[in-house]
């Protein structure tokens, strides 16, 4: 029982309270870059969720079963980024072969995910927090869903912003950043709910 | 001459993250104080210069199909070196930067310069390009760090600036302040640019 509660709390914590985008500042580049249209934003978010869940499982296994027993902890970053890059490649090939429809919808975002710091950041956080395997997978999935929610909300706001009259120097990245700041302010309401 | 041009573009047309809107995660995350901003900027500069030099030296050896993977491995190696150095000599700074030191691996500025510049240019230009962009990045981080530290904590480099009665504007020390601060700085930069452009046009019109 306490195990399940623990997992639920880990999920809520990373999806809402410690949202990757709003409190950890991870994955800001796609958050601002791919959030012009809601459907594209959701596609990107789901692709990230997919890769993040798999990478969290893979990096946990490699870190705990190979790197730590062999005392190779210092090569962690190099190994993690290679795992993520190959994971992205693998997922891309698999999805292209077996789910052409799905590939159509998030095909172009997949290669971009390798350099999404939300993935590497979450894998490193899981290591830092000393999560167990199941908790690591749940945290990866929750982190991905939190990212999807953030990017979808941002895309919704930006679709409205298209119609607004913004002062010339503030147009583009400027107003997007200010809007993101206000959205972050709203999300601070969750802080303290779960540690 | 070319060297000067490649160096100075890091402060003008390619000033990250204002002109080159890349690598925003560390910009927003570590600029709660000036010292953190400068430390992060210098760490990124070191990695950027080293990776640019090595990518440029190996540009004829690396097969173009696997170049991105090769670049990332090179960058990751230098990041490991930086982290070990920082833990050994600047332990408090490395503690406060935390996870953002390893995340230099996926900083798009570094991969972007490797791909867009170092892979096509000779070593000395690549090194100068890395140094210019890196120092421009450090400058931007320092400016945003200054704004956020003065407003959010009422200090500059840890020294209190105002009297006892100063109530810090804590919003700027927290996450929303990072976004809004960067947005407002971008706004000011664009406004100054437009103002200068207009002034130049007017002076041209007056002359003719």
- Show me where the domains of chain B are located: 2-207
Asked whether residue A1 carries a pLDDT value surpassing 60, the answer given is: no
Asked whether residue A16 carries a pLDDT value surpassing 90, the answer given is: no
State the pLDDT at residue A57. 93
- Nearest CB to A170; choose among B106, B175, B187: B187
Stated as kind and residue range, the H or E segment containing B160 is strand B159-160
Instruction: Measure in Å the smallest separation between the Cα of A110 and chain B Cα atoms.
Output: 15
Does A174 contact B at CB distance below 8 Å?
yes
Which residue would you say has higher pLDDT here, B185 or B18? B185
Asked whether residue A105 carries a pLDDT value surpassing 70, the answer given is: no
Does A166 contact B at CB distance below 8 Å?
no
Q: What's the Cα-to-Cα distance from B129 to each of A6, B50, B61, B112, B172, rounded to whole Å?
A: 49, 11, 21, 12, 32
Does B40 contact A at CB distance below 8 Å?
no
Asked whether residue A101 carries a pLDDT value surpassing 80, the answer given is: no
Does A72 contact B at CB distance below 8 Å?
no
State the pLDDT at residue B208. 67
What is the mean pLDDT of the segment spanning B138-153?
Answer: 89
State the pLDDT at residue A67. 87
What is the mean pLDDT of the segment spanning B122-146?
Answer: 91
Q: Does residue B134 contact residue B50 with C-beta atoms inside 8 Å?
A: no
pTM comes to: 0.85
Asked whether residue A195 carries a pLDDT value surpassing 70, the answer given is: no
What is the mean pLDDT of the segment spanning B54-68?
Answer: 87
Whose CA is closest to B48, among B7, B89, B87, B98? B7
Does A32 contact B at CB distance below 8 Å?
yes
* CB burial readout A38-60, b (16+ within 10 A) else e: bebbbbbbbbbbbbbbbbbbbbb
Whose CA is closest to B137, among B33, B17, B8, B6? B17
State the pLDDT at residue A140. 93
What is the mean pLDDT of the segment spanning A57-75?
Answer: 88
Q: Provide the H-helix boundaries in chain A.
A: 2-12, 28-33, 38-62, 76-98, 100-106, 117-129, 133-161, 173-187
The 10s digit of each residue's pLDDT in B160-202 is 777 777 777 888 888 888 888 888 888 888 888 888 888 888 8
- Which residues of chain B does A22 touch, with a Cβ-Cβ cutoff of 8 Å? 175
Instruction: Measure in Å the smallest separation between the Cα of B76 and chain A Cα atoms.
Output: 5
Contacts of A60 (CB under 8 A, 6+ apart): A123, A126, A127, A131, A133, A136, A137
CA geometry: angle at B107 spanning A45 and A11, to 5°?
Answer: 40
Share of chain B above pLDDT 70, in %: 100
Stated as kind and residue range, the H or E segment containing B146 is helix B123-153
Q: Does residue B130 contact residue B37 with C-beta atoms inside 8 Å?
A: no
DSSP states along B29-40: HSTTSHHHHHHH
Share of chain A above pLDDT 90, in %: 21
A132: cis peptide before it, omega within 30°?
no
Contacts of B165 (CB under 8 A, 6+ apart): none
Share of chain B above pLDDT 90, in %: 25
DSSP states along A135-190: HHHHHHHHHHHHHHHHHHHHHHHHHHHTTS---GGGTTHHHHHHHHHHHHHHHGGG
- Which residues of chain B does A78 touch, with a Cβ-Cβ cutoff of 8 Å? 73, 76-77, 80
- Nearest CB to B176; choose among A76, A77, A181: A181
Say how many CB pairs under 8 Å bridge A and B. Answer: 121
């Amino acid at each position: 029982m306490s195990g399940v509660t623990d997992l639920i709390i880990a999920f809520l914590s990373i999806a809402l309270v410690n949202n990757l985008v709003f409190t950890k500042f991870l994955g800001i580049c796609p958050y601002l870059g791919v959030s012009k249209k809601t459907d594209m934003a959701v596609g990107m978010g789901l692709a990230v969720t997919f890769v993040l869940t798999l990478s969290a499982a893979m990096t946990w296994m490699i870190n705990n079963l190979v790197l730590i027993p062999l005392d190779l902890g210092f090569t962690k970053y190099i190994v993690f980024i290679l795992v993520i890059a190959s994971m992205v490649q693998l997922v891309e090939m698999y999805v292209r072969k077996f789910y052409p429809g799905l590939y159509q919808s998030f095909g172009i975002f997949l290669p971009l995910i390798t350099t999404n710091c939300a993935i590497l950041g979450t894998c490193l956080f899981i290591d830092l927090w000393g999560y167990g395997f199941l908790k690591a997978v749940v945290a990866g999935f929750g982190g991905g869903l939190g990212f999807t929610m953030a990017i979808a909300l941002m895309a919704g706001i930006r679709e409205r912003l298209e119609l607004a009259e913004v002062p010339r120097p503030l147009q583009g990245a400027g107003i997007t950043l200010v809007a993101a700041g206000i959205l972050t302010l709203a999300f601070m309401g969750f802080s303290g709910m779960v540690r | 001459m070319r060297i000067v041009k490649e160096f100075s573009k890091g402060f003008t047309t390619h000033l990250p993250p204002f002109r080159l809107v890349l690598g925003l995660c560390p910009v927003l995350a570590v600029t709660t104080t000036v010292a953190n901003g400068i430390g992060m900027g210098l760490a990124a500069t070191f990695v950027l210069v080293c990776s640019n030099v090595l990518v440029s030296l190996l540009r004829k050896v690396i097969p173009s199909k696997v170049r991105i993977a090769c670049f990332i491995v090179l960058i990751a190696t230098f990041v490991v070196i930086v982290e070990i150095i920082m833990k050994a000599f600047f332990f408090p700074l490395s503690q406060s930067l935390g996870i953002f030191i390893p995340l230099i691996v996926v900083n798009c500025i570094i991969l972007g310069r490797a791909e867009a510049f170092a892979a096509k240019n000779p070593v000395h230009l690549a090194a100068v390009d890395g140094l210019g962009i890196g120092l421009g990045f450090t400058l931007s981080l320092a400016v945003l760090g200054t704004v956020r530290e003065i407003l959010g904590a009422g200090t500059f480099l840890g020294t209190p600036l105002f009297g006892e009665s100063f109530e810090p504007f804590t919003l700027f020390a927290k996450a929303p302040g990072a976004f809004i601060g960067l947005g407002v700085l971008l706004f000011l930069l664009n406004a100054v640019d437009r103002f200068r452009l207009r002034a130049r046009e007017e002076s041209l019109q007056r002359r003719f």
